[in-house]
Amino acid sequence: MSASPDELRGPKLSAEDQAALDRLVDNGFQASAHNADDAARDQAMLQLLRHLDHYPIEDSDESLIDATLARIDLAEREQKEKMRLERAPIRSIRWSDLGGIAAVILLTAGVAWPAFTRMRATSLKASCANNMRAMGGGLSAYANDNRDHLPMTAGLNGLLATNPSRAPDWNTYEHGGNLVALANCGYCPMGSVQCPACSSGMPHKHFAFRMPASDRSFRLTIVARGALVADSNPILEMHRTGRVAPPSMASANHNETGQNVLFGDGALLWLSRPEVNGDNIYLPRGVTQGDLLPNLVQLPSGDDAFLAH
């Protein structure tokens, strides 16, 4: 017959003995009970505990101590390993990785470059318009100081004579010199007489200015709603270099997308085609092709708006 679990555990202390043991532990194993029965039980418990001092105990095995310390060290190392951040191993770069990086760069450039180009073109167009407004204010001030006359100092006296002795050609004549004279007189900043888009790379850097008519005074009120200043004349520019430009070609200042045009009344418009009321501002009236532009400078007549630089 097998023994029950309670029998395997051996005898147990009674409730009174457990209370006596607790009192001894709390008082440093000194009998301190005031009750006679409790004091007697405490003394009996102390006598029983003294027998333990004579119980034979073998010294601990050194291998057991070493094994315990080793297990403690192992547990501490494992704890440190868990708390340490390991660096990922560096692997060698493969050609496929470089190809992927290059593809991302090309894709980004393909998306960003057109946007950057549009932003730059918009900024240049706005700066060009600001320069033209500043110059328009200078032309108005000049006219107020000179009985409504516009600046005309670029060697046109011979052309305005009844029988011009010698007309210059377009390769040597710069009509934009009138605008430079306007800036030299302090009516506008020197930087406002040109478009920032063409300030580098164009042989003639000035805005195109209206040529005076041969049969009437060059006055601001006479120009009125007509075109007075615009971006540089592309037909004249190509004519000077021996090339032929389409008659409807827009100014090269803004990649032939259009041109800013300042009118005599101060209005400033962006025109995609170089035409005002059907009149091409870059060709004299009656000239329909760029290759038909005369080599010698000729003044228009009437209200023809012909702008040159």
pTM for the model: 0.62
Per-residue pLDDT tens for 216-270? 888 999 998 899 999 989 988 888 888 888 888 999 888 889 999 999 999 999 9
Paired with 200 in beta bridges are none
Q: How many domains does the chain have?
A: 1
Phi, psi of 90 (to 5 degrees): -85, 120
Residue 260 in tokens: 């800013």
User: Domain for residue 90, yes or no?
Assistant: no
User: Domain for residue 15, yes or no?
Assistant: no
User: Domain for residue 51, yes or no?
Assistant: no
Q: Using the structure block, give the residue that is written with the tokens 């000239």.
A: 287
User: Domain for residue 244, yes or no?
Assistant: yes
Q: For residue 189, give its domain range.
A: 123-308
Residue 268 class from Cβ within 10 Å (0-12 exposed, 13-18 middle, 19+ buried)?
A: middle
Q: What is the DSSP string of the chain?
A: -PPPHHHHT-----HHHHHHHHHHHHTTS----SSHHHHHHHHHHHHHHHGGGGS--PPPPHHHHHHHHHHHHHHHHHHHHHHSPPPPPPPPPPHHHHHHHHHHHHHHHHHHHHHHHHHHHHHHHHHHHHHHHHHHHHHHHHHHHTTTBPP--SS-HHHHSSS-S-PPBTTT--TTHHHHHHHHTTSS-GGGGS-TTTTTT-SS-SPEEEPPPTTS--BHHHHTTSEEEES--HHHHHHHTT----TTPPPGGGTTS-EEEEETTS-EEEESSSEETTEETTS-TT--SGGGS-SB-----TT---EE-
Per-residue pLDDT tens for 51-70? 766 666 666 666 767 777 77
User: Domain for residue 55, yes or no?
Assistant: no
**Bigger pLDDT: 253 vs 72:** 253
**What's the chain's average pLDDT?**
79
**Bigger pLDDT: 255 vs 142:** 142
User: Domain for residue 7, yes or no?
Assistant: no
Q: Using the structure block, give the residue that is written with the tokens 């501002």.
A: 281
Strands 259-263 and 268-271: antiparallel
Q: What's the one-letter identity of residue 66?
A: D
User: Domain for residue 150, yes or no?
Assistant: yes
User: Domain for residue 257, yes or no?
Assistant: yes
| Confidence bin at 156 (pLDDT 50/70/90) | low
What pLDDT, on the 0 to 100 scale, is given for residue 201? 46
